[in-house]
Amino acid sequence: MMNTLRVVIVLSAMGGLVATARAADSPARPPATAAPGDAGVASAAAPASGDAGVASEAAPASGAAAREPEPPKAEGEKEPPPESPLLFPGGIRIGGLFDVSYERVGMNGSPSSGQNAFRNYHHFVFVSRQGDDIPIGFNAEVINQYFYELTARLWRKGSFRLSARAGKIMVPFGPDPLFHKNYGGLSAIDQKLLPVVWSSFGVNLRVDASLKGFSLANDLYFVQGFDVSTRDHALNMQSDLQAYDGARVAVGDRVSISRGPATLWYSLYWNPMRFGRSLLMQAVDLGIWRPAWPVVNRLALGVGVLRALISTDSSYGKPDAIADAGAYYDFADYLWLRIYATNWLYLQARSGLMTFNNHKGFSYDAERASADDGSHHNLSVVAEYAGAQFSLGYYWNFEKVGEPANDFLRFMVMYAF
């Protein structure tokens, strides 16, 4: 497992987010086999750089609970020693993540067409209390209060483990449990489909098991879901994460199966809303992390697809204009590839399609094309060492309607402890 840049968040998808992860834009190795919450340090969901600064798509951090086999090292290569968050009496851990970015924005293919900007995307402090001798602990991000949750180890027998968390929890949907969903070819703060930080009040039960060389995990959760303000309101999952009239309880489940370098996830989320409307969202993701074979041991790969169906109950009267066809859906996919020159330097390419308010077709409805529909592409080079990360990336954004000058270049310096 990579001991390079670790963002300080160790997600116990059930047992909680325990601080000590590193940053790395884009998917790192999948966390399916880690058993968060069981041993004080759990599998990591590492925020990373490249996309508004964050994006490791699920890299386990160091620690007793991260039990996935380590990716192979090139001959003669050595990794820097693992880092730890600040430790205090009573099992309290503190970690942080900070960055600064220079960007050239508003470009149309030529740097001379853009404008300069300095931005900051990460200013996080994480506090947690976890450990084998701590049956009930907590995890929290204390500056912006993105999440704060109690964690509990409920039962263990052999390779089977049951854990729980409650509070403002990270919603376990997709391969990355924190900020970095790649759907549409965008991640972190650039994301346009899902919430940038998808956390919500609720509870989560997790089962982990190992069986005949496979690692299995299942997250069942109940959280406060999305809602719409009016009957003809098109659901925006970034701004409508609230209840307008009482709590909207959503139910979801994520199952993962992992063997060797590969992990497969299936995510399901169902959310009833007002006016007889509902959201049914499904996603399938596959991650392959540096197989232990010559040449391909330098490669990491991720691919996924998401479909969010918003339906209307005709018993509520004549369907609104948005739902004349009975339902509409949003669609997004992605593909990313990372090539390691060394264990601390890699090149990453990512691409994805995103469309909204489709009534027909599998992924794109040309009759309902808008400026929100399009494809997104990114090429980045990233260097990591001793808690620091330096990334330089160019981002191409192509819209189906009214192509604006919105490509940009981003150079980011990030530090995690």
- The whole-angstrom separation of Cα 225 and Cα 232 is 18
C-alpha dist (Å) from residue 329 to 63, 187, 360, 362: 41, 20, 9, 10
Domain segments of the chain: what residues? 10-416
pLDDT at position 25, please? Answer: 35
Q: What is the mean pLDDT of residues 93-106?
A: 94
Q: How far is CA 310 from the centre of its chain?
A: 22
State yes or no: pLDDT of 323 exceeds 50. no
Would you mind telling me the total number of residues written for the chain in this entry?
Answer: 417
Distances in whole angstroms, Cα of residue 311 to Cα of each of 121, 239, 273, 354, 398:
35, 19, 10, 19, 28
pLDDT score, position 1: 35
Least confident residue range of 85-94, 159-168, 246-255, 397-406: 85-94
Considering only CA atoms, which of 175, 173, 190 is closest in space to residue 380? 190
268: pLDDT confidence band, cut at 50, 70 and 90?
very high
| 108, pLDDT greater than 80 | yes
What is the per-residue pLDDT for 73?
38
Q: What's at 188, amino acid-wise?
A: A
DSSP 304-364: EEEEEEEEE-GGGSSPPGGGTTSEEEEEEEEEEEEEEEETTEEEEEEEEEEEEEE-SSSS-
Per-residue model confidence (pLDDT) at position 239: 85
Each residue of 194-246: pLDDT tens digit? 988 899 999 999 999 999 899 999 999 999 999 988 877 888 888 887 767 77
Q: Does domain 10-416 fall into CATH 2.40.160.10? A: yes
Of residues 317 and 407, more confidently modeled = 407
- Does residue 248 surpass a pLDDT of 80? yes
pLDDT given at position 85: 67
Alpha-carbon gap, residue 184 to 232, rounded angstroms: 25
Q: Exposed/middle/buried for 240, CB within 10 Å: 0-12, 13-18, 19+?
A: buried
Please state, in angstroms and rounded to a whole number, the distance separating the CA atoms of residues 33 and 43: 8
CA dihedral 193, 208, 138, 80 (to 10 degrees): -80
In the chain, what is the straight-line distance between the N-terminal and C-terminal CA atoms, in Å? 18
> What is d(CA 42, CA 26) in angstroms, rounded to the nearest whole number?
20
205: nearest Cα among 11, 10, 15:
15
Model confidence at 129, in pLDDT bands (50, 70, 90)? Answer: very high
Provide the percentage of residues in the chain whose pLDDT is more than 70: 75
pLDDT of residue 181: 84
In which residue are the tokens 């996935």 written?
A: 68
Specify the pLDDT at position 114.
Answer: 87
In the 8-state DSSP scheme, what is residue 62?
Answer: S
Global pTM reads: 0.79
CA distances from 279 to 128, 248, 269, 307, 309 (A): 33, 11, 8, 10, 6
- Cβ–Cβ < 8 Å for 156, 179: no
pLDDT exceeding 90 applies to what percent of the chain? Answer: 52
- Identify the pLDDT of residue 39: 27
pLDDT digit string, tens, across residues 28-53: 333 333 333 322 222 223 333 333 33
Q: Is there a contact between 178 and 188 (Cβ–Cβ < 8 Å)?
A: no
Residue 386 has pLDDT above 60, yes or no: yes
DSSP state, 268?
E
Q: pLDDT band at residue 327, thresholds of 50, 70 and 90?
A: confident
Q: Where does the pLDDT of residue 84 fall: very low under 50, low under 70, confident under 90, or very high at 90 and above?
A: low
User: Picking from 9-23, 123-137, 298-312, 333-347, which range would have the lowest pLDDT averaged per residue?
Assistant: 9-23
Under a CB-based contact definition with an 8 Å cutoff, are residues 54 and 141 in contact? no
pLDDT higher than 90, residue 13: no
Task: Indicate if the pLDDT at residue 397 is higher than 90.
Answer: yes
Q: Which residues fall within 8 angstroms of residue 213, CB to CB, at 6 or more apart?
A: 259
Q: 381, exposed or middle or buried, with CB in 10 Å at 0-12, 13-18, 19+? A: middle
3-state helix, strand, coil in the chain (%, to 5): 5, 50, 45
pLDDT at position 326 is 57
Across 320-341, average pLDDT: 80
Query: How does strand 92-107 pair with strand 407-416?
Result: antiparallel
Using an 8 Å Cβ cutoff, are 10 and 61 in contact? yes
pLDDT (0 to 100) of residue 403: 85
The residue that leads in pLDDT, 313 or 379, is 379
DSSP, res 122? -
Strands 299-312 and 277-289: antiparallel
Cβ contact 323:335 at 8 Å: no
- Average pLDDT for the chain: 78
Beta carbons of 203 and 278 less than 8 angstroms apart: no
> Where residue 147 falls among pLDDT bands split at 50, 70, 90?
very high
